[in-house]
């Protein structure tokens, strides 16, 4: 039986970028002290599913998954695998204290990749980027960002963006704006649901 961890959240990213970024936020915001950043061993849907099941067994009551849509939309098989996983877990709530089970699972997507949310620290865009590398290049031009473990280890990401002239709450607001644009049917690309996630974590 899992041991319930009340008011605790595990956030599962798909790679080191999200892991390093979330840890940099924990240094700054008390609202995030009860979150545990985590990352699967690889980016496969099977490995993400294993990470979700592990989090359930460990008793976390909120399990948030950060999803980069670039790899999900590259071909039919990837889209179908992701659709299956999302259908199985997203929005799932289970509560049975007698059995030691109490959790909610949410997926938070970014198209094309998490770097779009980083770019939102600096400006809003709905540009249709050709791939995730194009967003990384745009972010690099804005602040000198590099997508390498060495850069992540020597430049705490949130603090780096702030020192480079970025604004976290602006990033949240821009991300929410992108969601609203999708909801209106303006486009079906270039959006981030991380603004909603951070608001749900108590950062307004």
- Note the pLDDT tens digit of each residue in 90-118: 999 998 777 778 899 999 999 999 999 99
Q: Taking phi first (over 0 means left), then psi (-120 to 50 degrees means alpha), and beta for anything else, what does residue 202 get?
A: left
The H-assigned helical ranges of the chain are 16-26, 45-57, 76-89, 115-119, 132-143, 149-154, 157-163, 168-184, 194-200
Report the distance separating Cα 122 and Cα 170, nearest Å.
8
pLDDT at 1: 47
Q: Which residues of the chain are under the pLDDT cut of 70?
A: 1-7
pLDDT at 85: 96
ω into residue 135 within 30 of 0, thus cis? no
Dig out the tokens for 142 from the structure. 């804005």
What is each CA distance from 42 to 12, 14, 133, in whole angstroms? 12, 7, 19
For residue 38, what is the DSSP state? E
Torsions phi, psi of 110, nearest 5?
A: -135, 130
């Amino acid at each position: 039986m899992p041991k319930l961890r009340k008011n605790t959240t595990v956030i599962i990213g798909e790679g080191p970028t999200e892991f390093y970024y979330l840890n940099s936020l924990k240094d700054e915001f008390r609202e995030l002290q009860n979150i545990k950043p985590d990352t699967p061993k690889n980016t496969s849907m099977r490995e993400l599913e294993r990470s979700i099941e592990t989090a359930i067994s460990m008793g976390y009551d909120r399990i948030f998954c950060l999803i980069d849509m670039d790899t999900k939309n590259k071909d039919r098989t990837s889209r179908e695998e992701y659709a299956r996983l999302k259908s199985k877990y997203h929005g799932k709530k289970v509560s049975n204290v007698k059995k030691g089970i109490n959790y909610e699972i949410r997926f938070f997507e970014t198209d094309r990749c998490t770097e779009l949310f980083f770019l939102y620290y600096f400006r809003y865009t709905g540009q249709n980027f050709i791939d995730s590398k194009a967003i990384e290049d745009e972010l690099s031009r804005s602040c000198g960002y590099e997508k390498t473990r060495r850069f992540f280890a020597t430049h705490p990401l949130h603090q780096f963006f702030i020192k480079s002239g970025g604004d976290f709450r602006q990033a949240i607001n821009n991300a929410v704006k992108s969601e609203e644009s999708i909801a209106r049917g303006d486009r079906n690309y270039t959006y981030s649901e991380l603004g909603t996630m951070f608001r749900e974590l108590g950062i307004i």
